[in-house]
Amino acid sequence: MALAEAPAARPILYSYWRSSCSHRVRIALNLKGIDYEYKAVNLLKGEQSDPEFMKLNPMKFVPALVDGDAVIGDSYAVALYLEDKYPQRPLLPQDLKKKALNIQVASIVCSGIQPLHNLTLVRFIEQKVGTGESIPWVQQQIDRGFTAVENMIKGCAGKFAMGDEVQLADVFLAPQIFAAVTRFQIDMSNYPTLARLHDQYMTHPAFEAALPDRQPDAPSSG
Ligand SMILES: N[C@@H](CCC(=O)N[C@@H](CS)C(=O)NCC(=O)O)C(=O)O
């Protein structure tokens, strides 16, 4: 007699509602149709420095994903892990040049833009340089990155960044554009392609369900 297999436990996402890095992972999970458990880590209360959480992410950052015995504390690593483990609804194309372009856009967001406006850095500027001084700094970093990405994708973008299918570049661009518009007062008229993508993302179900204000720990939620 065959024994019934125990159902696999759902992956657990450690996330903060407003974190753009967590937002990326929520989009990737939704696109791949993966049901997951949401655990909130309140960055403003310093819960990222809790010793238990630091076992999951020694950098004291969200997100972290726990999938069985896999513990991954970086959004880019999580996206690539999900792509390999859950090949349904691929995020990376077979075409090598298009794949490299996706990875380049994702890298610009996660190493050339977001780290330059993360909470630690913004707090440091506000304390050491002066109140309100972080905003022009953040805007300059986003403008620099968006100028590069706009030029890179304007010739190949369709409905989404790389054509008419959602790909990895979209997973990284959507949260960055959302933060630029809602938190950092970036004038998106300078970036017509990115502005158009933003409108697409706001109405796509997998992206919509990942929006910050739709998360259980969002102040407006529930
Ligand atoms: N490279 C990391 C960066 C993670 C990161 O910067 N997370 C931010 C939120 S988007 C964070 O936890 N910040 C907390 C802090 O700066 O104390 C990733 O992509 O996951």
pLDDT at 123 over 60: yes
Average pLDDT for 44-54: 98
Question: Does the beta carbon of 13 sit less than 6 angstroms from any atom of ligand 1?
Answer: no
Question: Does the beta carbon of 74 sit less than 6 angstroms from any atom of ligand 1?
Answer: yes
Measured from the CA of 78, which atom of ligand 1 is nearest?
A: 20
What is the per-residue pLDDT for 177?
98
Question: Does the beta carbon of 48 sit less than 6 angstroms from any atom of ligand 1?
Answer: yes
Give the pLDDT band of residue 222 (cuts 50, 70, 90): low
What is the per-residue pLDDT for 220?
77
CA 117, CA 119: separation in Å to the nearest integer?
7
Measured from the CA of 74, which atom of ligand 1 is nearest?
A: 20
Measured from the CA of 61, which atom of ligand 1 is nearest?
A: 12
pLDDT at 11 over 70: yes
For residue 73, the one-letter residue type is G
What is the per-residue pLDDT for 8?
76
CA 61 to ligand 1 centroid distance, Å: 4
Domains of the chain: 12-89 (3.40.30.10), 96-208 (1.20.1050.10)
- Note the pLDDT tens digit of each residue in 181-217: 999 999 999 999 999 999 999 999 999 999 999 999 9
Average pLDDT for 63-80: 98
Question: Does the beta carbon of 119 sit less than 6 angstroms from any atom of ligand 1?
Answer: yes
Q: Which residue CA neighbors atom 1 of ligand 1 most closely?
A: 74
What is the per-residue pLDDT for 1?
58
- Note the pLDDT tens digit of each residue in 144-182: 999 999 999 999 999 999 999 999 999 999 999 999 999
Question: Does the beta carbon of 200 sit less than 6 angstroms from any atom of ligand 1?
Answer: no
Mean pLDDT, the chain, rounded, equals 96
